[in-house]
Structure 1
Amino acid sequence: MKCCRDFYQLMLKGSQAHARWELEMSTNILTSRKRQILLFLMLLPILLGGIALAGGDGAGLPGMLGGKSAYMPSHYTNLIFFASIFVGLCAGLITGCIGAGGGFIIAPALMSVGVKGILAVGTDLFHIFAKAIMGSVLHRKLGNVSISLAVTFLIGSLAGATVGGILNRFLYDLNPVLSDMFITAVYVFMLGFLSFYAMTDFMRSRRASVSKATRGRGSSENREAEEIPPLGRRLQSVNIPPMLTFDEGITPGGRKISCIFLIVSGFIVGFVAAIMGVGGGFLTFPIFVYGLGVSSATTVGTDIFQIVFTAGYTSISQYAIYGFVFYTLAMGMLLGSLIGVQIGSLVTKVVPGLTIRGFFAVAVTAGFINRFFALPQKLASMEYITLSKQAGAILNMIGNVLFFGAITAFTVWVFYVFFTNIKELKGEH
């Protein structure tokens, strides 16, 4: 039980590291005229193309560009575009306010409104990649990146992303319902784990003083930076050439680990990222720190490095070229998240840390409930369980109402706090 709790804490730190990356990407884009122009140029052909296709059936287009045989929608409406902005806004608010990646709500949200799971995954990955391309700050982060670790890790992550993408496409070609069921089941498992420990962590923090909870949240990031966990110590003692040296600035002579463990770790992260449509940061952190014994500083730098390449490679080579990216949704989510991350990060200045922990638990639980209630209908469609269509539809509707109710309530609360404290926030700025 303690091992699972420790693993959750490290997953949370990984998600927080990804949230800081998202905030930096958004800040870079919004404060740079060149990047704003680039964003406009990326949006322009998508908007014009959507307007040209709106109301048409796309029959004259090649299959990969929106014809009836393509998996991506052949046209869009204003409602779809503004809904995607809202989804991105909510994810951005969660990222900025909670300090943890909000990507875990994007795929469930898109699937809840009828977007096929594989399309939701590909679109989310492309949205992450587009943000990374426009706001990249790799040149400023290379000081915290062990190039040998990063490159070796990428060998595994790109291989894992390839296998994950092939598996997702294979399941979709076999049966679209099976594909949705598989992606939903993965989300149920991952979000269920996060939800249980997030709620446990919040209730434990609630019993303590608010100041103690906030101080613990702020200081925990570097707690394990110097000491190697038992599992990491054991893996570093295994001498399987070639051995990679890292963390020379932390440990005299540096630490060493076999490249085999890096490749395997990268494969796991890349595979999960390709299946779930996330950056993989929430897994990179616990695997590196807890499993491999890498320092927190090196882990954060390597995570930022791998997100750009893993998300870019996966979104383009495994999804986009097969028609599994809905570009209009991706750009709408990007616009929404740019604004949401900024507002959410400002709200943290006037909200107690305990409240932020509570909303993180609620947001993760909402995503879990949404996919949990959607799973029976998909299992019944595959005839794995016996359930009437009416009962399945009711369960699915309950999950959607609870999910969007929780996310909407959170969004309204954040904006309320933001506007009621705007004078104070302006003064701090």
Structure 2
Amino acid sequence: MTIFRKAYRMLVAASVAHAKWDMEVSHNILSSRKRLIILGICILPIILFSVAIAASDPELPAILGGKKAYSPAFYTPVIFAVSILIGLCAGLVTGCIGAGGGFIITPALMSAGIKGILAVGTDLFHIFAKAIMGTVIHKKLGNVSVGLAIAFLIGSGLGVTGGGVINRALYEANPVLSDTFISVVYVVLLGFLGTYALIDFLRLRKNDAGGDAHGGAPGQSGGLPAKLQRANIPPMIGFDEDLVPGGKKISGLFVAMCGGVVGFAAAIMGVGGGFLTFPMFVYILGVSSFTTVGTDILQIIFTAGYASISQYAIYGFIFYTLAMGMLIGSLFGIQVGALTTKVVKGIYIRGFYATAILAGFVNRIFALPGKLMEMEILNIDPGLAGILTQIGNWLFFIVIGIFAVWVIAKFTSNIKTFRSEA
């Protein structure tokens, strides 16, 4: 049980770290008129071009999928509006809860009728677009360890390639198998995270403890970083010279292995490389938070960029109009959610975190019977499978919708408070 709890706390720390990055880049974009103009220039041609295609060929399918992907992706105003709402809800979760927003995007897209491989590719492209627009690299260059970054990116490149090849191979073999695989990955991850998050929430509620939204970061237990740093396996990479006399050293092999895991997870799930980088650097490799922040920024840009372009975009597995809509919605959702935390108790945020994660879990696990039936693995009535899928979809969107309405209501009712503080 201790091992599972440590794993849970590490995953939560990963989610929190990625949410902090997401909030920072969103603020950087919205606070810069130049970046907003660039965003508008990027989005407008895609929308106009897609509308022209949709108008010229009304026979294009309303739902992407089958054996072929369509590029440029099919577009309707309804699809674009849905993409903005999905981005808005994910942004509200990220901003208000401070974690977990990225977990709901792929399940939400799949529930809206997007094939899993397209959902993953689109989410990665959305993360890449946000990274290159909103990251202020020059402020963090002093934090970057070049050796760590190079070793990590070599590993993440290999991991991304492996994950992308697996996703595409499964899709080419059977699109339903691809959806099933991605759903199973999310069922395992979200089920694990959601269960422990709910247990934490109930325990703290019973003890009437507010606390922060996530319970803090786990400590470096077991001396794993020290053991890895003592292993003299060339090439040895030095880091943290400005923080520790003589600095620290670690084998580039361990750094590359961590990069491989991060890249593989990013390419399979579409959650972005920053999700796992922070806890791996700090709690496994023993790198200081100061150095981790700068190195993580570079790796997010390169990992998400390489994954989205080389593994998905050139094969037609990115829904560009959807990515742009998600970007617009998430930018504003994050800001609203972050402000709302000032007027909401931490214990409630914990509860919503557990609820949002479990909603994604229920959504994917209810979709599995239908997928397994289509693959002729599970003998179940098609009508029942369809009902279960619809129940999972409705529960997911109702839970996330209620959360979004609650956050927006809290925000609008406290606008005067926010203005006075500003």
TM-score (norm 2): 0.94
Corresponding residue number in structure 2 for 1:139: 138
Q: Structure 1 residue 275: deviation in Å?
A: 0.5
Would you identify which runs of 4 or more consecutive aligned residues in structure 1 move more than 6 Å? Answer: none
Aligned 8 A contact 1:172 1:179 in 2:
yes
Aligned 8 A contact 2:373 2:379 in 1:
yes
Aligned 8 A contact 2:214 2:350 in 1:
no
Q: How does 1:318-357 map to 2 (within 5 A)?
A: 318-357=311-350
Tell me which moved more, 69-78 or 41-50: 69-78
Corresponding residue number in structure 2 for 1:41: 41
For residues 266 and 387 of structure 1, what CA distance do their matches in structure 2 show? Answer: 41
Whichever residue aligns with residue 208 of structure 1, its letter is: N
Aligned 8 A contact 2:152 2:255 in 1:
yes
SS of match in other structure, 1:244: strand
> RMSD of the TM alignment (CA)?
2.1
Tell me which moved more, 78-87 or 251-260: 251-260
Tell me which moved more, 315-324 or 146-155: 146-155
For residues 196 and 254 of structure 1, what CA distance do their matches in structure 2 show? Answer: 40
Question: Does 2:418 correspond to 1:419?
Answer: no
Whichever residue aligns with residue 157 of structure 2, its letter is: L
Change (3 A) 1:417 1:59: closer
The one of 371, 384, 388 aligned to 1:378: 371
Q: Structure 1 residue 294: deviation in Å?
A: 2.1
Whichever residue aligns with residue 369 of structure 2, its letter is: P
Q: Structure 1 residue 228: deviation in Å?
A: 6.9
Q: How does 1:16-415 map to 2 (within 5 A)?
A: 16-57=16-57, 70-72=69-71, 74-211=73-210, 213-214=211-212, 217=215, 220-221=216-217, 224=219, 229-415=222-408
For residues 360 and 336 of structure 2, what CA distance do their matches in structure 1 show? Answer: 22
Whichever residue aligns with residue 23 of structure 1, its letter is: M
What per-residue deviation string (whole Å, max 9, x for no partner) do you get for residues 185-229 of structure 1?
A: 111111111111111221222233445x23984xx35x74xx674
What per-residue deviation string (whole Å, max 9, x for no partner) do you get for residues 27-51 of structure 1?
A: 1111111111100110111111012
Corresponding residue number in structure 2 for 1:12: 12
Whichever residue aligns with residue 309 of structure 1, its letter is: F
Aligned 8 A contact 2:14 2:277 in 1:
yes
SS of match in other structure, 1:239: coil
Change (3 A) 1:59 1:321: farther
SS of match in other structure, 1:324: coil
How many residue pairs were aligned? Answer: 417
Corresponding residue number in structure 2 for 1:63: none
Q: Structure 1 residue 303: deviation in Å?
A: 2.2
Q: Structure 1 residue 13: deviation in Å?
A: 1.7
For residues 9 and 421 of structure 2, what CA distance do their matches in structure 1 show? Answer: 31
Change (3 A) 1:412 1:215: closer
What per-residue deviation string (whole Å, max 9, x for no partner) do you get for residues 81-126 of structure 1?
A: 0000000000000111011141111110010111000000000000
Tell me which moved more, 194-203 or 120-129: 194-203
Whichever residue aligns with residue 280 of structure 1, its letter is: G
For residues 221 and 146 of structure 2, what CA distance do their matches in structure 1 show? Answer: 20
Aligned 8 A contact 2:141 2:294 in 1:
yes
For residues 225 and 100 of structure 2, what CA distance do their matches in structure 1 show? Answer: 25
Q: Structure 1 residue 73: deviation in Å?
A: 6.4
Aligned 8 A contact 1:288 1:294 in 2:
yes
Q: Structure 1 residue 382: deviation in Å?
A: 1.1
Aligned 8 A contact 1:50 1:76 in 2:
yes
Aligned 8 A contact 1:166 1:318 in 2:
yes
Aligned 8 A contact 1:128 1:311 in 2:
yes
Structure 2: give runs of 5+ residues left out of the alignment. none
Aligned 8 A contact 1:12 1:282 in 2:
no
What per-residue deviation string (whole Å, max 9, x for no partner) do you get for residues 121-175 of structure 1?
A: 0000000111111112121122332221122101100111011111111111111
Q: Structure 1 residue 72: deviation in Å?
A: 4.5
For residues 41 and 100 of structure 2, what CA distance do their matches in structure 1 show? Answer: 27
TM-score (norm 1): 0.92
Tell me which moved more, 143-152 or 409-418: 143-152
Structure 1: give runs of 5+ residues left out of the alignment. 61-65
For residues 214 and 331 of structure 1, what CA distance do their matches in structure 2 show? Answer: 32
Change (3 A) 1:350 1:106: same
Tell me which moved more, 38-47 or 251-260: 251-260
SS of match in other structure, 2:47: helix
Whichever residue aligns with residue 135 of structure 2, its letter is: S
For residues 8 and 297 of structure 1, what CA distance do their matches in structure 2 show? Answer: 23
Aligned 8 A contact 2:12 2:214 in 1:
no
Aligned 8 A contact 1:126 1:315 in 2:
yes
